[in-house]
Structure 1
Amino acid sequence: MLEAKDISVKVGAEQLLDGVSAEFAPGRLSVILGPNGAGKSTLLACLSGLRKADGGSAIWDGADIAAMNAKLRARSIGLLPQSAAVHWDIYARDLVALGRYPYHGISNKDQDESHIEAAMAATDCTHFAGRHMRSLSGGERARVLLARVLAGQPQWLLADEPLAGLDPRYQMQILDHMRKLANEGVGVVTVLHDLNQAARIADHVLLLNKGRVFASGLPRDVLTKTNLKAVYDIDCAIFDDKDGQMAIIMQG
């Protein structure tokens, strides 16, 4: 179990998170939603150990994530950051190979190669493995960065807006791959903005507003007209499409 326990984060006078508590289960795909500035990325950073909370803590299997050994944490929790920017010239395959660094000394070369190739195949970026990252489009870079995380075989995948910059085909591919990982027992926690994508793929939705938990639970229980009006100030129609999938249509 991955837990946020009364997490608070403040920067200057701005309260980014205010007493956020939530539980995320392995084998479940959780989507964090909320308007800009709700604290989604900050919560994900705390859960990954990248950022230490000012109050409260992020806990994995009873251990404070911020206090964990860095290599152990990297083998357990894979973070896909929001930005697809890469600030140095490196081949795509070499960047994916960095995902194996936490296994240095406990994994052999053949194992490393196998996981690198599998991760690149899963994200459909094998064909530009030999290209420099700076020559790739934003969407291509995003797929390589996801492959780097997957190469590390994390027990948890934390993805901050993983669909940014991707065309619809690759958005669906990444969503389907996250679904597959959750079905295989990986805990997946991702920040999304598209309410329909969240409704389609999520087992669990955490809805944040102004740094606090507004609602948490099954998509149908969280993504209601009342909640969406309160958090996003939007009117919408909610119905099931011909395939039985929940659909949300914004209304003027």
Structure 2
Amino acid sequence: MSAAIEARDLGFSVEGTTLLSGVDLDLHHGELLAVVGPNGAGKSTLLGLLAGDLRPTTGTVRYAGRDAHAFAAAELARQRAVLLQEHRLSFPFTVIDVVRMGRAPWRGRPEESDDDWAVGEALDAADVRHLAVRRFPTLSGGEKARTSFARSRAQATPVLLLDEPTAALDIRHQEQVLDQARRTAADGTAVLAVLHDLSLAAAYADRVLLLGQGRVHGLGAPGDVLRADTLTALYQYPVDVFRHDRTGELVVLPDRSAATAFAPTEALR
């Protein structure tokens, strides 16, 4: 698999506080990379840097060998689509209008002829076709999240960056969105998803990047990175990792039986 994004010695600081430091990462075409870690680990900061929305304090981000900040805005929008955590619009656009916004980078180009197909496919992939004429502000949180996912998918870029795409979704739509992300990667797109559910990360990701306190604590196959001792220390809460008896899938759960006897400061030493 070739690298769609190359990040080297990536760091970001604000007002003397370091939010991310020393990150080396290649995001490959054809893979789904899950970024996990506790609150404040630097996950969204990393996504913003990879997207070119933030300028790194140290290091570089390159798309196919070219610095992300060398692209004009429209050109960068044809390189990557970004799904943010918050889904807000100031005007009452319909769902189909919001999804069509994802096609804006291709206006006036040959790819514009694919607009109708891309929008229709994205509506179906996100299960929002039945909401097509609804006004975006009238939707539930989960419906807004799925509409925003459809917009980013309709953009049809070589890189897809998703910040907590399952946060507002019920269990069916969590599985559906990540299955679609997995299928998108299988078609050759480089997909990165920031996730909080470690079991979902284990189930769908080719690789997992584990962040904590702005630093990389693991990068590799889910079974190699999502280890009970590492997660317990990083999350400062007892964590159990095991294989499902029937499916063999990796399951990550809080170990509540051990919580009362757990001392977070001891785990971090």
The TM-score with structure 2 as length reference comes to 0.90
SS at match of 1:164: coil
SS at match of 1:146: helix
- Kindly tell me the number of residue pairs found equivalent between the two proteins: 252
SS at match of 1:82: coil
Q: Which moved more, 1:4-13 or 1:174-183?
A: 4-13
Equivalent position to 1:251, from 215, 235, 255? 255
Superimposed CA distance per residue, residues 68-111 of structure 1 (whole angstroms, 9 cap, x where no aligned partner): 12222111211001112222221111111111111111137652
Alpha-carbon distance in structure 2 between the residues aligned to 1:188 and 1:34: 18
Equivalent position to 1:142, from 136, 145, 166? 145
- Equivalent position of 1:217 in the other structure: 220
Alpha-carbon distance in structure 1 between the residues aligned to 2:173 and 2:54: 29
Identity %: 39
- Equivalent position of 1:116 in the other structure: 119
Superimposed CA distance per residue, residues 125-161 of structure 1 (whole angstroms, 9 cap, x where no aligned partner): 1111111101111111111111111111111110000
- Equivalent position of 2:15 in the other structure: 12
SS at match of 1:206: strand
- Equivalent position of 1:155 in the other structure: 158
Equivalent position to 2:63, from 57, 60, 63? 60
Structure 2 contact 106–112 (Cα < 8 Å) conserved? no
The CA deviation at 1:19 is 1.8
- Equivalent position of 2:177 in the other structure: 174
Superimposed CA distance per residue, residues 4-40 of structure 1 (whole angstroms, 9 cap, x where no aligned partner): 2111111113211112111111101100011100100
Which runs of 5 or more structure 2 residues have no equivalent in the other structure? Answer: 257-269
Alpha-carbon distance in structure 2 between the residues aligned to 1:4 and 1:108: 29
SS at match of 1:83: coil
Which runs of 5 or more structure 1 residues have no equivalent in the other structure? Answer: none
4+ residue segments displaced more than 4 Å:
none
SS at match of 1:85: coil
Across the aligned residues of Structure 1 and Structure 2, the Cα RMSD in angstroms comes to 1.3
Alpha-carbon distance in structure 1 between the residues aligned to 2:200 and 2:239: 15
Alpha-carbon distance in structure 1 between the residues aligned to 2:63 and 2:212: 24
Alpha-carbon distance in structure 1 between the residues aligned to 2:134 and 2:95: 6
Q: Which moved more, 1:66-75 or 1:52-61?
A: 66-75
